[in-house]
Chain A
Amino acid sequence: MHRCWGLLFAAVNLAAIGLFVVSPAMGWWLPRNIASYGADIDHLFYLILVATGFFFVITQGTLVYCMFRFNAKDGVKSKNIHGNTKLEIIWTAIPAIILIYLGFAQTPTWAKMKYIEIDTWFPVKYKGTNIESDLHVTVLGRQWEWRMRYPQGNIPADPQAWADLGNLNDLHAVNELHAWKDARVKIHLKTQDVIHSFFLPNLRLKQDALPGKIMPMWFQPIEANVRFNPKTRMLEELNPSSTWEIACAELCGGNHYRMRGKLFVHESKQDYERWFADALKNQRLHESPRVQPVVAAGNGGNP
């Protein structure tokens, strides 16, 4: 009977390993990475997967072995052992070394994502929001959509003031984030009501929008998925399977799940600018005094 229990534990653990083996083949895995720092993140993920996988196999293997091997038999007593200092030191030191290595291995990536420039170990110099970028976008979360604002000329004169107040000639869009391949995009993330979280799975990027604050985030897409066709004035997908979505990752009310947006990465800066000019022209048509403003309607007077 005792062997059955060992088998049960072995089977469950093997099934767990099995699921991790088949999942990538089933497409149940990380979405395609398109961020410049995404490879670093995925690398770290696999590094931790290997380390944890190693300890998983060792500990579960030992447990299952013990369950098979050491069971009560008449007249056989356990060993009366209360501990072993050497062993304790070994199994404290080895995980500690591996974990501290993992801790330090991830700091450069974190610094890269969060603009911390590490000159020396201490003190760390914080670049803050002054990172060089090719495109600024303000993203405003509200229940339940993302409102994007693009500046004319891609980079506003005073990014902070622009992120706060905006310009009259900004381009507005809802749930559509546009950028171009290899552009360093700076996002100014805002919210007008509750906390939202701007989640771009393909960019391995997520940031909470905090009421009352403008949160900086940046990314650089290394792949394009759309081209603007000036004739049809439509976006054309380069590859039918490359839909990159935006989601909200922080509970923001009943329709939290519906804050779905799309990320459009244009082939080139020129292509983005063609789209921008066309969209802005379209927006101005609707902004003429005789026509109802499209973007501002229902926004409670909040531009």
Chain B
Amino acid sequence: MNHDTHHTTGSKPGFLTSYLFSQDHKMIGIQFLFSGLIFFGIGGLLALLVRLQLGWPDGNLPYIGKWFPQSWGGKMSPEFYTMLFTMHASIMIFFVIIPWLTGTFGNFLIPLMIGARDMAFPKLNMFSYWVMWPAFIIILASFFVDGGAASSGWTSYPTLANVGAEAGLEKLPFKPGDAPTSYTVFKDDAFNSPAAPGAGMGQIFWLVSLIFVGIGSMMGSVNYITTILNMRAPGMDLMRMPLTVWSLFITAILQALALPVLTVALMLQLLDKLIATNFFLPPGGLSFGNWHTTPGGGQPLLWQHLFWFYSHPAVYIMILPAMGVVSDIIATFARKPMFGYKPMVFSMAAIASLGFIVWGHHMFQSGMDPRLGTGFMLATILIAVPSAIKTFNWLATLWGSSILYTTAMLNALAFVSMFVIGGLSGIFMAATPVDVYFHDTYFIVAHIHYVLFMSSIFGIFAGVTFWFPKMFGRLMNEPLGKVHFALTFIFGNLTFFPMHILGIGGHPRRYYDPTIYQYLENLQPLNQFMTISALLLGLTQLLFVTNIFYSLWFGAKASKNPWNCNTLEWDAPSPPPHGNFDQIPQVQRGPYEYAIDGPMDHLTQSSPAVDGGKIHE
């Protein structure tokens, strides 16, 4: 009760408390939206540099070549290239997709959609955004440290990532007759690594930054779970929650259970680097030229287990909220009830729980016991079943519907179409013998981009367009949105679909110059084609940014419920004030009462029953 009175009677917040150190869940969601947008730009530029190198591996780069150190001769160095894709993936995953999905949609939508005035812990919520800022600053600063940013891949496998000069490295005395080697390359400095220049200070910055991200997401997920379980409006049973809320709820549980494992693993690797522990260094020591590590007692494979125990569920953290968002948008614009609401909820729960026992499918070739691989293979194969159920239910929702082709709907339909491709290509890698060939080739790069870019990002575009009027009180520009959608759909497919073919051809990922391989030579035209498409795809995203900023000030004013949607957030004014609702709504029914008989074709969750309104519970 205290909480309610605070919102309704509290003094008007000043600029700092309303825009920066806001405890209002809506403002925190919007903060995540804009910081995500900045990092989307940075991550995208890194990807374009990767593509430039792959398209023309031996060419000197015009214009941007001048930015590189003179010793590189206008080309990027192989070490710089490894840094590019490492930071591209890290930024896109930890600073764009997860913050957008859980940070923006989670914060903005959960209280509004369940009919609460705010999160259960508003102050914790504020911290969950502000611990992201040390992460933002550290990850950006890492580009400028000695040796460059992290370059061991976003997976940061030891021993490439965790060997530091501090980790017991010593130089053996020369034997007479030994040819002098390049042992002087590495400065005798605790923060340098003999494994790679970016595996020194850059890797330490990367680890510290991700630890902050981990803490922030942890705060967020605890908040989401508590809010959803305790603060639903009267009548909002669990089985009346919109699928968006269900997906965010399941995601929060995944995050709360899996993320501590990654955070701890990051800390262990940090200890390996800083105080010469040996969690991930093998007994027997390692040799880098004339540098040798002292014998360790750890196991490099342990990192992979810990990392994937989080990072596989993380893949679902990065897709489940998009699935929820897309479900709500499809039902709204198909003007038809969600087909199979309960199967949709249960299949999300199944994906989440199976998601915990499939992490080993990233490690079929890692040296893990091959018998264990069989178990992971079966679990992985089975996870395609709930994914198929979801797809069929979306299609059944569309069947016999009357589709309104808004920008949000088009992006949501693209999500369904692209998720099918991303899901089906996963089956190839789940099959252990086939994965032996496809592992670490471009086939997996195609798969991850179909799931994360072509699915999650389309889900995000759909969601941002859909809830923009609720966030800012103005509608996004529809024609501009449609042009952006069509071009993204075309160039996205032109960029990512040929990656499957590269993978079938055996093109390994993370290669600076594939053309030195004879068997990859004739794939090079595809690489160049993809680079051109990627540049156009990147340019297209400027339309999205333009649309956001244009619509912020010049968009058409939005009514309370511009899409005739049923869920509770549309009961609140656009944008909702501090405290969201004038009066906490009484929930009467589930969220998908479309195409009902009566004067209106839909019944919102809170509207009292109308005579003649046929309601299916």
* Partner-B contacts on A (CB < 8 A): 1-2, 5, 8-9, 12-13, 15-16, 19-20, 23, 26-31, 37, 40-41, 44-45, 48-49, 51-52, 55-56, 59-60, 62-63, 66-67, 70-73, 76-84, 87-88, 91-92, 95-96, 99-100, 102-103, 106-107, 109-110, 113-114, 116, 124, 126, 142-143, 192-195, 197, 199, 201-202, 204-208, 210-213, 215, 243, 245, 247-258, 260, 292, 297-298, 300-302
Contact = CB atoms under 8 A, between A and B. Distances in A.
A294 B384 CA distance: 53
Interface in B562-617: 592, 594-597, 601, 614, 616
Given A48-B434, A56-B424, A106-B433, A80 B300 contact: no
A126 B369 CA distance: 10
B253 interface: no
A96 to B, nearest CB: 5
A298 to B, nearest CB: 5
Interface in B376-397: 377-378, 381-382, 384-385, 388-389, 391-393, 395-396
Given A31-B519, A63-B395, A297-B178, A201 B172 contact: no
B301 A99 contact: no
A210 B367 contact: yes
Residue picked from B158, B402, B517, most chain A C-beta under 10 Å:
B402
Nearest to A94: B388
A52 B425 contact: yes
A297 B339 CA distance: 69
A92 B403 contact: no
Given A77-B601, A248-B508, A256-B512, A195 B300 contact: yes
18 contacts: A9-B414, A12-B490, A30-B437, A52-B425, A63-B416, A81-B337, A82-B338, A102-B431, A103-B382, A126-B371, A143-B288, A195-B160, A206-B439, A243-B519, A252-B160, A257-B512, A297-B179, A300-B181
A95 B292 CA distance: 52
Nearest to B382: A99
Contacts of B291: 300
Contact of B367 (A63, A66, A81, A208): A208
A41 B403 contact: no
Given A79-B595, A99-B381, A116-B371, A206 B365 contact: yes
B538 interface: no
A212 B373 contact: no
Interface stretch (B3-11, B74-82, B216-224, B254-262): B74-82
A143 B291 CA distance: 13
B448 interface: no
A194 B522 CA distance: 30
B607 to A, nearest CB: 16
Given A206-B365, A292-B177, A253 B195 contact: yes
B414 to A, nearest CB: 8
A83 B341 contact: yes
